[in-house]
Structure 1
Amino acid sequence: MNDEDTRHEDTRYEAVRSRDARFDGEFFFAVRTTGIYCRPSCPAVTPKRRNVRFYATAAAAQGSGFRACRRCRPDAVPGSAAWNVRADVVGRAMRLIGDGVVDREGVGGLAARLGYSARQVQRQLTEEVGAGPVALARAQRAHTARILLQTTELPVTQIAFAAGFASVRQFNDTIRTVYASTPSQLRAAAPRTGPVARSAATPAAGVPLRLAHRGPYRSTAVFDLLAAEAVPGVEAVAGSRGRRTYRRTLRLPYGTGIVAVEERQGTAAVRHRAGGAGRTAGAPGPGGAAHPGGWLDARLHLTDLRDLTTAVQRLRRLFDLDADPHAVDERLGADARLGPLVAARPGLRSPGAADPDELAVRALVGEAEAGRLVLRYGKRLDAECETLTHLFPEAAVLAEAEPGGPLGALTAALADGVLRLDPGADREEARAVLLALPGMDEGTAAVIRTRALGDPDVAPPGVDAPDTWRPWRSYAVGHLRAAGEL
């Protein structure tokens, strides 16, 4: 280990010593003498430096033989913000794995989407994050299984396949390896009350979740945007400001879903729990606008539980829950123009999209026209839920139904795969394809890149965005808009 690596690990150890939750999900540490791995904010006694090992991912720690800490639940932390910032093959691969591509299409499917060989993808991921795609997907399946075990009464066999395991034996072996418990023991350790209490043994009962985030979270701004953009039949926002519920329909790989996400969490002190992560949460800011770290409460109703992992990741992108607000605010807060805006709104997020193709269509045609498309071409739900009645129409359906003009060009490009907006898409390539479409302007392309592709570093035309705002120009634009300067 060279001097730079030593200093890097010393910095990480100081984060562990101070139980700094800002680094939860950015790295993990394992203790050689106990055989467990933890998040940096774990409340347990700080181990001696010589006994600590550091890992970029939970999968890497598991691959080295360490099991998850039962006290801090390291698998429930927000994802690393680095994967959303990075546009290289590793960042794209991590986003695709999070979306469940390895479970659905295997390593070969992942590699094909990235335009590399399976061997190249394996090598690059192992070098960068300490684990290959199979190990990363396995860690994700284990986390999904734990959520289902501890929040539902579904039979263990059903949970095994819903989480993406190929067999019950593989499921049992993985749970024992990762958690040092049998599935039955893991279920017995679940809390019996509160938001993560177990629900009935049917998908229709829904899966309660805590969608973890790090640092402050300006929930009011996010829910204001979602309320302003809501397309009838697909989305709805109800409740008073500060205590609203956002609900929407989801088209997923195996079926459909309906999700409800609460704007505001409770203010009482909490422990790390089954469905998500959170430090002790103090009183929220004005109007429930910001939290020092914690989660958003949600409930997912899925027609096929195999979609749980994918649905959760899409919600995380929509609500920008894997962002690192400390890094964003530190960079932008140092700017003379942005400093006062950041101080007024710490933790302001850059919302993404639950369905990138849908977002692209809506950005092009606007909310009113999107509502017309839903009523005319959207698929009606088999079981409607109050005002939620439809799925947003697929690109292929729109391309065939209305082939002319800018909408037809956009949806044809999406349907044919000429334009890719999935989590593994090449952002620069997608921008070039967008701008080549008839009727597509720079401003609309910037919105699609920011929201559908989750690019944190987009400045729309006409905005003077200096390089000192990089790589967080999307957040800078959000602050300018919130302050009424755009």
Structure 2
Amino acid sequence: MTVMTDDERYAAIRARDTRFDGMFFTCVRSTGIFCRPSCPARTPQRGGVEFVPSAAAALAGGYRACKRCGPTAPPGSPDDDPQGSLSGRALRLIDAGALDEEGTVPSLARRLAVSERTLHRALIAATGAGALAHARLRRARRARELVVGSQLPLARIAHAAGFGSERQFHETFTEVFGHAPSVVRERIRGSRAPDGESVSSVPAADDVAVVMARLAVRRPFDGPGLAAWFAHRAVPGVEDVTGLLWTRAVQLPHGPGVVQVDLGADGALPVTMRLTDLRDHAAAIALVRRLLDLDADPVGIDAGLASALPALAPLLTARPGVRLPGTPSLAEALLWAITGQQITTAQAREQIGRATDLLAAALPEPLHLAGVHRAPVDPAAAAAAAPQWFRGPRARRETLVSAVPAIAEDEQGLPLAGSIDELRERLLALRGIGPWTADYVLLRGVRAVDVAPVRDVALLGAARDLGLADDHAALRRTLEAASPWRSYAAAHLWQHQATQRAAARTRGRDSTR
């Protein structure tokens, strides 16, 4: 990826170009404020600004967040690193709360199997700030979301946002945003944070919290493509897609929850979360962002694919901003991948549905939303019980029984503690797991952006239709040209094949009339 010069960055902020939001931040020396490139405020003089790679670096440098453009919110932050670098894995752990309350930087380094010094060097090199600065930023952002849009007591917000004490919450909040939490709440009561993520919250029955937010996303965004993908795999009672309204039960650190997102909305995406524990609101937002691939750079990805594979141009034009549909865990992706080998998606969904009927727990009634009323089946439990629900070859059933629990056992650390290459080797070392399964699991389970499942029949069918390749060997060579965005090339080809099959079914129905 080409590194921008400061002159190019300044040109971007003069144009208020939203495509660069999250790629860098502008620090204005005279005001002590930092902004997104698209900030609507008057453009400062060239000599009066400096540029940093992350919001945490700006905070560490003594700058406060701009109130107009909300630069502490996503999308597109370089903090998100689906390639699996040390800094990216560390930031995802921090985002999940590894440094909240009792967490420490040494304990984080141990989880990543590196020294504290190595961790610090990696974060500074990638983002310009250390682990504690990133943790403070994330806690402050979570707190502001609840301060702005809820009437929850500030003491409860401090705990939910991950602060060790209410005093720490007030001090950090005031330093980052320039005013105390109570002042900010009073000034913008009833309004939403500009150009970022906003939240409102009201209590539901039985201590279930209903939290509404707006998730920032880089445009273009192929919401219909995601809706179609999830609808085709939705297990009844666990997931529902009505039009472009997607609802799913999820398991969060402190209990189950249900999330609902309007994938067809303009601007930021409205999301409703029903949570058994308010502390999970940040984890729920982070999970939804990952499931919907909201931190992708669609302009850069589509431009790269168009240049590398001109034959994809019609697909890129028809569906700009295609995203990678995720799963909550690597183990769940593996469960689906093994179950779905050599059968249709509908048949795989039916099999997972039987496992869910057998093992899944009902959700508390206050969590029910849009027909979603039960928790997703635990992948390890489903695999262990495979003889009771799986209908397929014995060898594949044995792979389910052995492979999925092995991944689930170290799931908490595995997706974050290993690079993509290391994870792939870990998967391939499991009995019954081949290259196609490993790549598919990485694409969906950890949002690996540069893998393409080899020997995939649907991919080859789409490639033949577009004149890209006639056999699997040629397809492999063709997709190598799409690196580092092979996963997105695969997503376009899958969508094209699904569209072609749907059109063929329609023609078949019409011919029988």
Match of 2:428 among 422, 435, 442: 435
> Equivalent residue for 1:343?
317
One-letter code aligned to 2:98 = V
Match of 1:468 among 481, 489, 492: 481
Change (3 A) 1:319 1:81: farther
Of the three residues 154, 158, 161, the one matched with 1:160 is: 158
Q: SS at 2:241's partner residue?
A: strand
Distance in 2 (alpha carbons) for counterparts of 1:153 and 1:446: 45
Aligned to 1:274: none
**Corresponding residue number in structure 2 for 1:481:** 494
Q: Which runs of 5+ in 1 are unaligned?
A: 267-293
Where does residue 88 of structure 1 map in the other structure? 85
Give the AA of the match of 2:250. L
What residue identity is the alignment partner of 1:448?
A: V
Other-structure match for 1:78: 75
Q: How many residues were matched structurally?
A: 451
2:94 counterpart of 1:97: yes
Aligned counterparts of 1:246 and 1:22: Cα–Cα separation in 2:
26
- Indicate the residue corresponding to 2:372 in structure 1: 388
Code of the residue aligned with 1:175 in structure 2: it is F
Out of 136, 141, 144, the position equivalent to 1:138 is: 136
Task: Judge conservation of contact 1:421–1:452 (CA < 8 Å) in 2.
Answer: no
Q: Distance in 1 between matches of 2:112 and 2:32?
A: 35
Q: Which amino acid aligns with 2:493?
A: L
Secondary structure of 2:250 counterpart: strand
For residues 444 and 90 of structure 1, the distance between their equivalents in structure 2, rounded to whole angstroms, comes to 27
1:308 to 259, 281, 286: 281
d(CA) in 2 for partners of 1:226, 1:380: 21
Task: Report Cα offsets for 1:188-239 as digits up to 9, x if no partner.
Answer: 233526895744256635111111111200110011101111112221112x
Compared with structure 1, are the counterparts of its residues 57 and 437 closer, same or farther at alpha carbon in structure 2 (3 Å cutoff)?
same
State the alpha-carbon separation in 1 of the partners of residues 277 and 411 from structure 2. Answer: 29
Match of 2:271 in 1: 298
Deviation for aligned residue 1:175: 0.6
1:187 CA drift (Å): 1.2
Indicate if the aligned counterparts of 2:74 and 2:295 stay in contact, CA closer than 8 A. Answer: no
Q: Does 1:222 align with 2:195?
A: no
Q: Which residue of 2 aligns with 1:248?
A: 248
SS class of match (1:208) = strand
Give ranges in structure 2 of 5+ residues lacking alignment.
Answer: 340-347, 388-396, 455-471, 502-513
Paired residue for 2:117? 119
Q: Deviations over 1:241-261 (max 9, x none)?
A: xxx211111111122211111
Q: Are residues 1:56 and 2:60 paired?
A: no
| Deviation of the 1:352 alpha carbon | 1.7
For residues 173-192 of structure 1, the aligned pairs below 5 Å read: 173-190=171-188, 192=190
Which residue pairs with 2:390 in the alignment? Answer: none
TM-score (norm 1): 0.87
> Cα gap change, 1:28/1:85 in structure 2, threshold over 3 Å: closer, same or farther?
same
Give per-residue Cα distances to partners, 1:134-177, cap 9 Å, x unaligned: 11011001000011111211100000010000000100001100
SS state of the match for residue 481, structure 2? Answer: helix
2-structure distance, mates of 1:479, 1:374: 30
Shift of 1:376: 1.3
Amino acid at match of 2:93: L
Q: Which amino acid aligns with 2:368?
A: C
Equivalent-residue separation in structure 1 for 2:45 and 2:100 (angstroms): 38
Tell me the CA shift for residue 86 of structure 1.
Answer: 3.1
* Structure 2 Cα separation of the partners of residues 357 and 421 of structure 1: 10
Distance verdict in 2 for CA 1:152–1:448, change over 3 Å: same
Displacement after TM superposition at 1:77 (Å)? 2.8
Bigger drift between 67-76 and 158-167 goes to: 67-76
Between the aligned partners of 1:483 and 1:82, the Cα distance in structure 2 is 31
Q: Of the two, which has the highest radius of gyration?
A: 2
1:282 match: none
Structure 1 residues 205, 413: closer, same or farther in 2, change over 3 A?
closer
Question: Residues 450 and 81 of structure 1: is their aligned pair in 2 closer, same or farther, counting only changes over 3 Å?
Answer: farther
Distance 1:359 1:420 in 2: 16
Q: How far off its partner does 1:476 sit? A: 0.7
- CA deviation map 1:325-384 (0-9, x unaligned): 111011111222212221222111122223332222122213222111112122322335
Sequence identity (%): 39
Corresponding position of 2:302? 329
Corresponding letter in the other structure for 2:441: I
Equivalent position of 1:200 in the other structure: 202
Q: Distance in 2 between matches of 1:69 and 1:418?
A: 38
AA at the equivalent of 1:91: G
Q: C-alpha separation between the residues in 2 aligned to 1:311 and 1:227?
A: 20
Take 2:484 and 2:111, find their aligned partners in 1: how far apart are those partners?
25
Which one-letter code corresponds to 1:200 in the other structure?
Answer: V
What letter corresponds to residue 48 of structure 1 in structure 2?
Answer: Q
Q: Indicate the SS of the match to 1:135.
A: helix
Contact 2:35 2:71 survives alignment (8 Å): yes
In the aligned structure 1, how far is the partner of 2:185 from the partner of 2:81?
32
Of residues 401, 420, 445 in structure 2, which corresponds to 1:452? Answer: 445
The Cα shift of 1:414 comes to 1.9
Q: Alignment partner of 1:310: what SS?
A: helix
Taking only aligned residues, the RMSD between alpha carbons, in angstroms, comes to 2.4
Match of residue 16 from structure 1: 13
Q: CA deviation at 1:83?
A: 3.0
1:29 aligns with 26
TM-score, normalization by structure 2: 0.82
Cα distance change, pair 51–37 in 1 and its aligned pair in 2 (3 A): same
Partner of 1:259: 259
Show the counterpart of 1:378.
360
CA distance in 2, matches of 1:174, 1:168: 10
1:397 aligns with 2:381: yes
The structural deviation recorded for 1:439 is 2.8
